[in-house]
């Protein structure tokens, strides 16, 4: 259930763009430097997000990328679905088969609850919410 580097970097860049939505287009070089991510790798990731209409790009000397719609209308699920082939959370944390009584392992009930919380967060959290949390973390760590 781990996320690929493409997805992690796409999420990080998207949160950064959400926090700077008023700035308009931000250069990929600037994002790359700020997040300490390889420029060439990040370019490929952002291109996929642009092709999925999550980002909008502008070419040229003052070019860059920005969110294609308001950050409060983009969920984490949209980013993950764009950048992950088959994102699934396993039914059993220990990899055991699920039986009809759904009690395949001693961790089953706890895992089912955690899995539900993760799925809800991925489906409902928006880039805006994460950007607001990011601002609080940044300010408190000064």
Write the pLDDT tens digit of every residue in 44-99.
999 999 999 999 999 877 789 999 999 999 999 999 999 998 888 888 888 887 76
Place of tokens 């291109």: 47
Query: What domains lie within the chain, and their CATH numbers?
Result: 5-140 (1.10.10.10)
Residue 64 is classified by DSSP as E
Give this prediction's pTM. Answer: 0.86
Residue pLDDT, tens place only, 106-129: 888 898 899 999 999 999 999 999
How many angstroms separate the CA atoms of 53 and 48, rounded? 9
H or E segment and range at residue 41: helix 39-51
Asked if 55 and 17 touch (Cβ cutoff 8 Å), the reply is: yes
Phi, psi (rounded to 5 degrees) for 26: -120, 135
Q: What is the CA radius of gyration of the chain?
A: 18
* C-beta separation of 10 from 45 below 8 A: yes
Question: What's the half-sphere exposure (Cβ side, CA atoms, 13 Å) at 108?
Answer: 11
């Amino acid at each position: 259930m781990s996320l690929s580097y493409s997805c992690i970097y796409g999420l990080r860049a998207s949160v950064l763009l959400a926090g700077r939505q008023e700035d308009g287009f931000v250069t990929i070089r600037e994002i790359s430097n700020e997040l300490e991510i390889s420029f060439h790798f990040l370019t490929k990731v952002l291109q996929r997000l642009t092709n999925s209409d999550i980002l909008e790009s502008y070419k040229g000397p003052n070019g860059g990328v920005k969110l294609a719609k308001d950050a409060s209308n983009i969920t984490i699920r949209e980013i993950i679905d764009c950048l992950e082939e088959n994102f699934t959370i396993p039914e059993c944390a220990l990899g055991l088969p699920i039986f009809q009584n759904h009690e395949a392992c001693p961790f089953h009930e706890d895992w089912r609850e955690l899995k539900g919380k993760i799925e809800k967060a991925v489906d409902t959290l928006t880039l805006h919410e994460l950007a607001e949390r990011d601002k609080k973390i940044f300010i408190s760590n000064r």
